[in-house]
Structure 1
């Protein structure tokens, strides 16, 4: 099963020089493996003021003193 998946994926890099020694190939692989990998960066937190729920109008308070409390944060 793994042979079929390896055959269908293209190689990551290809060595063009036919005179490359195994040491040169090993050095190339070591440099490329040191460059990449690692874990993905953490997703950025969205600021509260840009949150989509703030774009929807909330129900305004009603009753005595409702006009005062309409401007208070909830």
Structure 2
């Protein structure tokens, strides 16, 4: 149970504070030695730059879309 002692928070502020408390509680309840889950592959910045861009030239604009 969370009790607001001072001030008058908006519903959004209260929801944000509750989300932080819940996240901290979930992290504290993780069994010791268990690693956090790996981040999703779609968020890996290396995925964006897998292929080198073609060198500049007359037809380079046409080759930028297709991977080599």
TM-score bin (small chain): 0.3 to 0.5
* Greater Rg by CA: 1
Question: Structure 2 length normalisation: TM-score?
Answer: 0.35
Question: Structure 1 length normalisation: TM-score?
Answer: 0.33
Q: RCO higher in 1 or 2 (8 Å CA, sep ≥ 6)?
A: 2
